[in-house]
Amino acid sequence: MNLKPIVLMCMSLMGCAEKAFEEDTGTHLRWHVLRKVEKIASNSSKSFVRTSGLALTKDESILVLATSTRTSVALLDPETLKLKDEIYTGDGAGQIASVNDGNHLVTWAIAGRVRKKNGWFPDVSRATDVFILDGYTGQMLHKVKVGENVGMIQDLHDGTILVTAVHGARISRVHLETGKIVDQVSTRSKGFSPGYIATRPDNQIGVVTGGIYRGVGGSKGHARGTEVLVMDPMAPSERSRFEMVDGLKHPRSALFHPDGRHILIAERKRDMIVALDWVSMRTIDEKHVEHRPELLGMLPGGAHAYLSYDGAKRISRIHLATGTIDSAILPGTPRAWGSSRPVLSTDDRYLYVPIGDKDGIAVIELEDFALVDFIETPKDVRSLAMNRRGDVLFATLGDGNYVARIE
């Protein structure tokens, strides 16, 4: 038998594979190697809502872990994942965000810690604070009391953030350098629990949707979605108004269309994406989607948005010009809220989705919007963070008491 053609074919295939690898090195985590998993000791009782989040400092010398299993923020070495320092917060702050061009980190808890009552019944303390950290060192700068059970923060990119307090029924504008509340509006008289915030990129208009849909700490929580709050993000106490929107039953996250006039709202109760004209405050379109839509986010280029769900094994892409929706089927159910948002690769080619009921991370290729890989992890994934080069992905696992480094 003449093996030469076979050998040449194999060599040719190897050459093609090597060429493809060379062309595709970029910033995509091509091989997705789980390099290290480190256990981070907890130091508090559990939170009513178990969450965790990760963020790198601006110079990427410190990996900051906020988890509901700790009453302090953990500062980790990004290479070894070993604990370097702890910053006491007094509450299980399980959310974290890099804001103000990375000069500050903000961490908070969406619910307080659980205390035993009558042997087993959870008595939930109210989380009322946001903690502002230095974006380079991770050290505490300010502790700001904004109201019970923080829902979300929104970076206004001018040195201030907007903060919603779901049960506190307040929206606060907080100055990051001073830690002062520079403006605040109460929604209590309307019985409105502010949750998700969306602001237009020019910060001239913002919309807040109702945030409560279940009882926390014994309260009788329920969806309240017939109104949205339209406001000036820079001066919410001076210029804000409630608007009735026909058809809304339980709105969750919102997203401004690039045209600046229209707002997409994930309508959880009716399984809809609602397109709202904020000038006339009327619904101009509705699109049925998979059950319980939750999170909306913009994809690179501004032509598409993504949509994740609370309980569906898929993630969807919305074509903003046509309204058409296509979906990628996932190996499990993604986490749909908190710090569990998908993370984009730095080359804008891939979307990394933390899976809640199957231990791992789904990798979605954006051009075809299809699942191309699944990174298996020892425990379920809570949140993700990526370095600027895009060659390292960090993940919190379990209840946030494990951190993984993936390359």
Q: Considering the entire predicted model, what is its pTM? A: 0.87
The pLDDT tens digits of the residues spanning 102-154 come to: 999 999 987 766 655 555 445 456 789 999 999 999 999 999 999 988 889 99
Q: Give the end-to-end CA distance of the chain in Å, rounded to a whole number.
A: 43
Q: What percent of the chain has pLDDT over 90?
A: 59
pLDDT, tens only, 285-312:
999 997 889 999 999 999 999 999 988 9
Q: Which two tokens stand for residue 150?
A: 């923080």
Q: Are 167 and 196 in contact (CB under 8 A)?
A: no
Supply the pLDDT for residue 6.
31
Measured distance CA(124)–CA(68) in Å, rounded = 13
Cα 157 from Cα 330, distance rounded (Å): 34
Q: Note the pLDDT of residue 214.
A: 45
Residue type at position 23: E
pLDDT digits (tens, 9 = 90+) for 31-79: 688 999 999 988 765 666 678 999 999 999 999 999 988 889 999 999 9
pLDDT exceeds cutoff 50 at 20: no
Question: What pLDDT shows up at residue 228?
Answer: 85
pLDDT in tens, 334-363: 876 666 789 999 999 999 999 988 899 999
Does residue 157 have a pLDDT over 90?
yes
Share of the chain above pLDDT 70, in %: 82
Per the prediction, the chain carries an average pLDDT of 84
Tell me which residue of 59, 104, 56 sits closest to 81, measured CA to CA.
56
- Full strand arrangement of the beta sheet holding 262-267: 251-256, 262-267, 272-277, 282-288
